[in-house]
Amino acid sequence: MDYAATREEALARIAAAQDLDALEKLRVEFLGKQGSVSLLLKTLGAMSPEERRSTGPQIHALREGVSDALTARKTALEGAALEARLANESVDLTLPAPEAPRGSIHPVSQVLDELAEIFADLGFAVATGPEIEDDWHNFTALNIPESHPARAMHDTFYFPDSDTEGRRMLLRTHTSPVQIRSMLEQGAPIRIIAPGRVYRSDSDATHTPMFHQVEGLVIDKGIHLGHLKWTLETFLKAFFERDDIVLRLRPSYFPFTEPSVEVDVGFAQVNGADGKSRRVLGGCGDAPGHGWMELLGSGMVNRKVIEAGGLDPDEWQGFAFGIGVDRLAMLKYGMDDLRAFFDGDVRWLAHYGFSAFDVPTLSAGVGAGA
């Protein structure tokens, strides 16, 4: 067989290919599994050693020549196609700019990032836990008695069946169970915030069956109420980016803290550009034109809760606080209906949403992207 003539014929046909489809057919014809050159390579195994020494280099040279010619012709055809496309296409610079990419960061996600940034600077770690919780972690370990209204069916979403260990299961009503789990897993000292979704049977303009909450926990030696007040003041000043935030602590009752305090923040009543009166946080609530707004609950961790966390309450003390993330977002960014957070209205999201590039930082201001 005249391998040189076969090679020249193949190269001529490849050079004459007018488009990529025709070139692909030639590649299959020559180098496919049943291609003419591939079949020649398969004959080498049946040849004697002397025949392979004389014929083998010719067949391999044929294959390499065809392969190189196919690659070169493909490059040329692709280049020509690109040149033709560039010559025929044009851009009208007088047309409007393309629409900006859609999508935004939900205000709740943005506020969660702001909280994590602020508390990380205060030395807090972020802890998480299951949203499907058992009765012991959600209520009993937190010193919530059997007769407490929070355990009632009208306030808590229970599952009809118990788990494999016979425990009553429910959708957690707060993120406080994360405190118990963290103490049992990590011991003390501990300093965490526990953000996440929680569930309660309630729905109106300021309540939804599912909402977001963040709870904080500090367990250490020598902790007192002054540490709690300083932490909350520092957090709120950073979050609302105002130095005139004033807090008022009022005695209250929560089963998991003793003593317990409600935290009020001072606000001023001002008229906006639309003529509507609104509240602006800052200043003393007892001053003329000012008032107090209840913001969160807190207190010193109850001894029974510390014991449930596997710690000695005579050695360790701590404070805890909890606040609704959605409520914080409403206060900071001027929203008046909590239900809109979960409606999925693109107009609302376009107005209140944040750019993915507006990452909260203490140096630039946690609300810099608002």
DSSP-derived secondary structure for 107-154: HHHHHHHHHHHHHHHTTPEE----SEEEHHHHTGGGT--TT-GGGSTT
Q: What is the pLDDT at residue 282?
A: 78
**Amino acid of residue 288:** P
The pTM is what?
0.68
pLDDT tens profile 15-42: 999 998 999 999 888 888 888 888 888 8
Write out the chain's pLDDT in tens, 370 residues: 788 888 888 889 999 999 989 999 998 888 888 888 888 888 887 888 888 888 888 888 888 888 999 999 999 999 998 898 888 888 777 878 767 667 788 999 999 999 999 999 999 999 999 999 999 999 999 999 888 777 776 788 999 888 878 888 999 999 999 999 999 999 999 999 999 999 988 766 556 788 899 999 999 999 999 999 999 999 999 998 888 889 999 999 999 999 999 999 988 877 766 666 677 787 787 778 788 888 999 999 999 999 999 999 999 999 999 999 988 888 888 887 888 888 888 888 888 888 887 888 776 667 654 4
Q: Give the integer Cα–Cα distance in Å for 352 and 210.
A: 20
Q: What is the pLDDT at residue 271?
A: 72
290-301/277-281 β-pairing: unpaired
Question: Of the candidates 262, 259, 261, 264, which has an alpha carbon nearest to the alpha carbon of residue 245?
Answer: 264
Q: Which residues contact 252 (CB under 8 A, 6 or more apart)?
A: 260, 261, 262, 297, 299
Q: Give the integer Cα–Cα distance in Å for 85 and 79.
A: 10
Q: Please, are residues 325 and 212 in contact by the beta-carbon 8 Å criterion? A: yes
Q: Please, are residues 186 and 218 in contact by the beta-carbon 8 Å criterion? A: no
According to CATH, the superfamily of the domain at 107-352 is Bira Bifunctional Protein; Domain 2 (3.30.930.10)
Give the bridge partners for 196, in sequence order.
213
Q: List strand residue ranges (DSSP E) for the chain, in order.
A: 125-126, 132-134, 169-171, 190-199, 210-220, 247-254, 257-271, 277-281, 290-301, 317-324
